[in-house]
């Protein structure tokens, strides 16, 4: 019997997950068990007693449930305890019975990221050899990132000006967003933090840029030590990398199950999808069309004409990673699959992929950059603030910076929008307007982010004279 290819398995899992999530939507209701759970969170007893008024009420949307909570508890208490209250009131047995598969899959991916990129980068950098080779590769990689992210932003800018999704948007639909400003790190701080003060803490906190920095430094100086040590270290890191790749391939086998678990929960937890689409339809359409244009036209043109490779064959090769990026909304978690597909299916050497992909997953986010720009202008339109040409240029620049600073985790882009809004004096609460649809749009922008990283690896490999399978 012919084997059912992985990308089709994943696709089928995705479709079933969507259907499953629609059939079993999540409910929110407070039961005796919820009240017991809330006692453990430290919520004051008087508030818990007040919440008893809601006992027996069943809410089909998280928003409605929070609305009801807000009428009972003071504003700050609601904001402070909102996630715990939601957790205590969460009811969805059928989804809980499958979502553990998604949790384990994500944990397994996160488990291998650091050892995988660390060993992969070290063996790659020792292969690159001299400092000037490393510098040339670095320059090409950064140029590719800046070029594609800027093109993505310009596509978004064009479409958001043409479709004007924010005009007439209902400001009353805005939702509260917790701790927006505290999560922001300035560009200067981000740059300083590239140099870790403790590499073990960087490992522990999955601080990718610091780990990348240390691995490049380590790999580079391996080439500078006595032959005897150099050979021993080369051999050791190559061996570790081989083992990590084998573990990666083993985890990848379970992608369809993981994706089923993740996506069914995401779909079930969405508040009334149809209502969202009718309210935010034009906004979603703007983001979606701009991302599709960048994904299906701009990046393939770059692969075809700059990389002299076959973009759509490469796209097919990348499909397990792209589906995973879509489902997990995390380019970081997808990284093991991205490295695997770029090397095994498209034939890029480890030397190039180990250098470009971890860096790409951390700082090259075309989808996020585009999204930052569209979202900021949507908020400006919704609040009726006219943006001058100069202000739009500031948005382009800050959207680029925000995408570089965003981590490869779900909804990181949403937090980074505050940088863009602050730069042009737009109200930060505007983020609340787009919160409800962020997780869905995050899936599309993350797939675009990963696709751009993989195209970058192909273009750079070709420019270095590699013969690829695409």
List residues binding ligand ASP (CB under 6 A).
Answer: 329-331, 365, 368, 406, 408-413, 442, 445-446, 449
Work out how close the CB of 325 gets to ligand ASP at its nearest, in angstroms, rounded to a whole number: 7
Give one DSSP letter per residue of 1-69, joined into a string: -----HHHHHHHHHHHHHHHHHHS--EE---HHHHHHHHHHT--HHHHHHHGGGTT--BSSHHHHHHHH
- Tracing tokens 């380590």 back to the chain, one arrives at 218
Work out how close the CB of 19 gets to ligand ASP at its nearest, in angstroms, rounded to a whole number: 24
Work out how close the CB of 408 gets to ligand ASP at its nearest, in angstroms, rounded to a whole number: 4
Burial of 234 (0-12, 13-18, 19+ CB in 10 A): middle
In the complex with ligand ASP, the residue whose CB is nearer, 174 or 449, is: 449
Work out how close the CB of 322 gets to ligand ASP at its nearest, in angstroms, rounded to a whole number: 12
In the complex with ligand ASP, the residue whose CB is nearer, 157 or 363, is: 363
In the complex with ligand ASP, the residue whose CB is nearer, 331 or 381, is: 331
In the complex with ligand ASP, the residue whose CB is nearer, 307 or 360, is: 360
Q: Quick one: tokens of 450? A: 């990963």
Q: Quick one: tokens of 456? A: 């970058």
In the complex with ligand ASP, the residue whose CB is nearer, 202 or 333, is: 333
Burial of 252 (0-12, 13-18, 19+ CB in 10 A): buried
**424 and 391 Cβ atoms separated by less than 8 Å:** yes
In the complex with ligand ASP, the residue whose CB is nearer, 237 or 295, is: 295
The residue among 40, 56, 53 whose CA lies nearest residue 88 is: 40
Work out how close the CB of 443 gets to ligand ASP at its nearest, in angstroms, rounded to a whole number: 8
Work out how close the CB of 425 gets to ligand ASP at its nearest, in angstroms, rounded to a whole number: 23
In the complex with ligand ASP, the residue whose CB is nearer, 21 or 410, is: 410
Work out how close the CB of 438 gets to ligand ASP at its nearest, in angstroms, rounded to a whole number: 8
Distance CA 455, CA 302 (A): 8
The residue among 445, 363, 375, 448 whose CA lies nearest residue 417 is: 375
Work out how close the CB of 368 gets to ligand ASP at its nearest, in angstroms, rounded to a whole number: 3
Work out how close the CB of 407 gets to ligand ASP at its nearest, in angstroms, rounded to a whole number: 7
Residue closest to ligand ASP, measured at CB: 413
Q: Give the CA distances from residue 61 to residues 53, 90, 93, 128, 384, in Å, rounded to whole numbers and listed in that order.
A: 18, 10, 16, 53, 29
In the complex with ligand ASP, the residue whose CB is nearer, 68 or 411, is: 411
In the complex with ligand ASP, the residue whose CB is nearer, 336 or 347, is: 336
Work out how close the CB of 80 gets to ligand ASP at its nearest, in angstroms, rounded to a whole number: 24
Own/partner contacts of 396-402, CB < 8 Å, gap of 24 or more, are 396/150, 396/153, 396/154, 396/157, 398/372, 398/423, 398/424, 399/153, 399/156, 399/369, 399/370, 399/372, 399/373, 400/146, 400/149, 400/150, 400/153, 400/369, 401/187, 402/368, 402/369, 402/372
CA angle 321-323-328, nearest 5°?
90
Work out how close the CB of 339 gets to ligand ASP at its nearest, in angstroms, rounded to a whole number: 15
**359 and 212 Cβ atoms separated by less than 8 Å:** yes
Distance CA 253, CA 431 (A): 38
In the complex with ligand ASP, the residue whose CB is nearer, 119 or 368, is: 368
The residue among 273, 191, 320, 304 whose CA lies nearest residue 439 is: 273
Distance CA 298, CA 160 (A): 18
In the complex with ligand ASP, the residue whose CB is nearer, 222 or 412, is: 412
- Tracing tokens 């080439």 back to the chain, one arrives at 223
């Amino acid at each position: 019997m012919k084997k059912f290819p992985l990308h089709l398995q994943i696709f089928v899992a995705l479709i079933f997950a969507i259907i499953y999530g629609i059939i079993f939507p999540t409910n929110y209701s407070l039961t005796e068990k919820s009240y017991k759970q809330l006692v453990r969170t430290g919520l004051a007893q008087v508030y818990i007693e007040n919440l008893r008024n809601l006992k027996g009420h069943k809410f089909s949307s998280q928003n409605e449930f929070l609305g009801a909570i807000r009428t009972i508890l003071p504003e700050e208490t609601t904001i402070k305890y909102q996630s715990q209250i939601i957790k205590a009131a969460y009811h969805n047995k059928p989804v809980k019975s499958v979502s553990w598969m998604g949790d384990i899959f994500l944990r397994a991916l996160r488990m291998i990221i650091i050892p995988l990129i660390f060993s992969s980068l070290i063996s790659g950098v020792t292969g690159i050899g001299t400092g000037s080779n490393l510098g040339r590769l670095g320059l090409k990689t950064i140029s590719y990132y800046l070029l594609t992210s800027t093109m993505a932003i310009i596509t978004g800018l064009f479409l958001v000006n043409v479709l004007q999704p924010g005009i007439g948007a209902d400001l009353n639909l805005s939702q509260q967003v917790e701790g927006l400003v505290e999560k922001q790190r300035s560009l200067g701080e981000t740059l300083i933090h590239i140099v870790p003060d403790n590499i073990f803490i960087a490992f522990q906190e999955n601080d990718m840029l610091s780990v990348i920095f240390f691995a490049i430094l380590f790999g580079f100086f391996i080439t500078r030590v006595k032959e005897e040590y150099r050979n021993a270290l080369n051999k050791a890191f190559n061996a570790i990398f081989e083992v990590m790749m084998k573990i990666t391939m083993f985890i990848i086998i379970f992608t369809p199950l993981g994706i089923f678990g993740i996506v069914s929960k995401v779909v079930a937890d969405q508040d009334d999808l149809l209502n969202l689409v009718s309210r935010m339809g034009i906004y979603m359409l703007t983001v979606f069309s701009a991302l599709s244009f960048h994904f299906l036209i701009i990046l393939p043109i770059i692969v075809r004409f700059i990389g002299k490779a076959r973009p759509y064959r490469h796209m097919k090769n990348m499909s397990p990673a792209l589906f995973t990026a879509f489902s997990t909304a995390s380019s970081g978690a997808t990284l093991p699959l991205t490295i695997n597909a770029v090397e095994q299916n498209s034939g890029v050497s480890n030397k190039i992929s180990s250098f470009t992909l971890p860096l790409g997953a951390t700082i090259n986010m075309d989808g996020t950059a585009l999204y930052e720009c569209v979202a900021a202008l949507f908020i400006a339109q919704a609040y009726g603030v006219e943006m001058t040409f100069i202000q739009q240029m500031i948005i382009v620049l800050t959207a680029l910076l925000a995408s570089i600073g965003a981590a490869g985790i779900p909804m990181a882009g949403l937090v980074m929008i505050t940088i863009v809004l602050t730069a042009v004096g737009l109200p930060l609460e505007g983020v609340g307007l787009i919160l409800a649809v962020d997780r869905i749009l995050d899936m599309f922008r993350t797939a675009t982010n990963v696709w751009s990283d993989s195209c970058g690896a192909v273009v750079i490999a070709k420019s270095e004279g590699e013969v690829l399978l695409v």
